[in-house]
Amino acid sequence: MKTLLTIPMLLVSFGAWAQTPSPAGKWKTIDDETGKPKSIVEIYKEGDEFKGRIADLINPDEANPVCKECPGDKKDKPIKGLEIVWGLREKGSNEWAGGQIMDPKNGKTYKAKMKLIDNGEKLEVRGFIGFSLIGRTQTWLREK
């Protein structure tokens, strides 16, 4: 009898585990100025933090652009493949914070947080200065 009760409990536990939300995957970014798709960012987990890199550019202004304004070892590196998000850790249900995001257009780095919305189909990404009052939020769309 114990075995019969254990199996459903394991299935329920596995089902809950399998549905744990994650920002990992590929996301389409939208240009703030034009409203058109700009890039595909791949979010991945490394250790206990989430990072993100530009996996592809959609209709770039120039072929194989480099990050001219990026600081340090990222300066003059190809934008495609460039790590632009790092240090995000889980802070609650569907939310990650404590990391940084870099804008490859101007090389500036901001504090970052992100949140899954619309059943994990959208990712709200916020880059900000200070306590989140001054900044910008973008909604990225999950790539199928």
**At 73, which CATH number?**
2.40.128.520
Domain boundaries, position 44: 22-142
Quick check: is 7 in a domain?
no
Quick check: is 65 in a domain?
yes
Quick check: is 135 in a domain?
yes
Q: Rg of the chain over CA atoms, in angstroms?
A: 18
Alpha carbon 51 to chain centroid distance?
7
| Number of structural domains found in the chain | 1
Say what the pTM is.
0.84
pLDDT tens-digit map of 83-129: 999 999 999 889 999 999 999 999 999 999 999 999 999 999 999 99
pLDDT tens-digit map of 38-75: 999 999 999 999 999 999 999 998 999 999 999 999 99
